[in-house]
Amino acid sequence: MLKFVVRRVLWTIPIILFVILMVFGMMKEIKGSPFRRTERAVPAAVMANLNRKFGLDRPWYVQYERYVRDVFTLDLGPSLVLRNQDVNGIVEEHFPVSAELGGLAMLFAIVVGVPLGVISALRANRFTDYAAMLVANVGFSVPAFLTSTLFIYFFAGKWGGFTGLPTNGWDTWSAKVLPVIALGLGPLTYFARLVRGQMLETLQQDYVRTAKAKGLRWRRVVGVHVLRNSLIPAVTAAGPLLGFIVTGSFIIENIFAIPGIGRYYVTSVEGRDYSTVMGITVLLSILIIVANMVVDILYGVLDPRTREART
């Protein structure tokens, strides 16, 4: 097991280097300058001094080597647009809000979606199953920005005086309810559909019928034999779904006026603040890579056969 974990950890290093290279190359292709904030022309001498100050006049491979070194020393560099601010300060101030939003949305999706899929599978082709899958199909089809817009329309307009749920900010627990539901609804429905389908397949396996024939209690059969094997696809999907939640949080933060890192990302792209865009992109990419690594390790724990095959 230790060898398996070490191999997965070491394999993330070249992936992170490749992600930094891709982000670095794409940012170099963006036209315009972060130092030209208005239509007025900036003197060539001033532009040259600014490029020299931030190292933008050096060859791309020198800039890449320096940026990689800074990233591995946890230095994301200064903001090119915001005076006297660095990317580390922006991340430290606003990333915890985005992390809390994404974490609560993922927790909501797992806590509600997995039991919904289990109940639906155990009551297949009954009213409970049809109702659960109807909710899952509708929730999976409606994008998060439309769900957020409908929440604001009904809870801030139509039902504002009855529910008392705010539709902006992040200061109170009541303010977190609607954004978390809007962001977690898509992953919730995906977990429900995935667990249901896998459980229906697992329930038809020979070892389940054998366990029932031996007289084991049905709850034990489901909890020990069926549920554990049915959760493997859900665990595998958790990594990519984290990427969906991270990118989807940008839209949710703008709609609900949440002071997270996503709002800074959008304004940084508009202002061509290269260092901030690169810093946030690399940070979120590393987060997704680490999450997939953890999912890969958990996959090996749940199914030792795959661990032995990949070591």
From first to last of the 311 residues of the chain, give the pLDDT tens digit: 677 677 777 888 888 888 888 888 877 777 666 666 555 566 777 777 777 877 777 887 888 888 888 888 888 888 877 777 788 888 888 888 888 888 899 899 989 988 888 888 888 888 888 888 888 888 888 888 888 888 888 877 777 656 667 878 788 888 888 899 999 888 898 888 888 888 888 888 887 778 777 777 777 777 777 877 777 778 777 777 777 787 777 888 888 888 888 877 877 777 777 788 888 888 888 888 887 777 777 776 766 665 555 55
In the chain, the number of structural domains is 2
Domain annotation covers residue 36: no
- Domain residues for the domain of 70 are 1-28+44-80+296-311
Domain annotation covers residue 277: no
Long-range contacts of 75-78 (CB under 8 A, 24+ apart): 76/275, 76/278, 76/279, 76/282, 76/283, 77/275, 77/279, 78/54, 78/275
Instruction: Please give the Cα distance from 101 to 105 (Å, whole number).
Output: 6
**Pair (107, 195) in one structural domain:** yes
Domain annotation covers residue 276: no
Residue 86 DSSP SS3: strand
Residues sharing a CB contact under 8 Å with residue 195, sequence separation 6 or more, in sequence order: 113, 114, 116, 117, 118, 121, 230, 231, 233, 234
Domain annotation covers residue 305: yes
Domain annotation covers residue 291: no
**Pair (72, 150) in one structural domain:** no
Residue 212 DSSP SS3: helix
Nearest alpha carbon to residue 108 among 196, 177, 174, 193: 177
**Pair (155, 183) in one structural domain:** yes
**Pair (197, 53) in one structural domain:** no
Domain annotation covers residue 162: yes
pTM for the model stands at 0.78
Residue 78 DSSP SS3: strand
**Pair (181, 241) in one structural domain:** yes
**Pair (68, 207) in one structural domain:** no
**Pair (98, 50) in one structural domain:** no
**Pair (52, 121) in one structural domain:** no
Domain annotation covers residue 9: yes
**Pair (261, 194) in one structural domain:** yes
